[in-house]
């Protein structure tokens, strides 16, 4: 079982982007806690409900950007440290959860990634 972080690139995706240009937008600040993001081993970029790219997730960190929560408070957005690009697996397509604030976590029946060297 693998914990996967899905992030929406609906507002930033451009057909002319190469993988490195897309990476910049995926690394940005997300409305998720550092703890929850850090529990994931992969991040998958989603466009209109379809996975378009994937990476190993090396870690997560708080950013200076914030988002509003229901009681009027704000929370820090979380940035992502991406590792190597990974293939877009068919299991991602059937496993894309509903993205709340552009982000969600799902457990998928995948072989865990080997440790980095």
The answer on pLDDT for 103 being more than 90 is yes
Mind listing the pLDDT tens digit for each residue in 12-52? 888 888 889 999 999 988 999 999 999 999 999 999 999 99
Distance CA 8, CA 102 (A): 5
CB 15 within 8 A of CB 52: no
Residue 115, token pair as written in the block: 């440790």
Q: What is the pLDDT of residues 54-86, one digit of tens each?
A: 999 999 999 998 888 878 888 889 999 999 999
Domain residue extents for the chain: 2-103
Taking 80 as the threshold, does the pLDDT of residue 117 lie above it? no
**Distance from C-alpha of 96 to C-alpha of 82, rounded to nearest angstrom:** 19
């Amino acid at each position: 079982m693998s914990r996967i972080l899905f992030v929406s690139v609906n507002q930033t995706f451009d057909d002319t982007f190469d993988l490195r240009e897309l990476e910049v937008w995926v690394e940005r600040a997300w409305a998720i806690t550092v703890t929850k993001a850090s529990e994931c081993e992969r991040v998958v970029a989603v466009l209109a409900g379809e996975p378009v790219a994937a990476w190993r997730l090396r870690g997560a960190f708080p950013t200076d950007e914030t988002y509003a929560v229901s009681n009027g408070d704000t929370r820090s957005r979380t940035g992502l440290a991406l590792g190597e690009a990974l293939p877009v697996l068919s299991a991602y397509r059937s496993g894309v959860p509903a993205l709340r604030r552009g982000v969600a976590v799902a457990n998928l029946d995948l072989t865990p990634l080997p440790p980095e060297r």
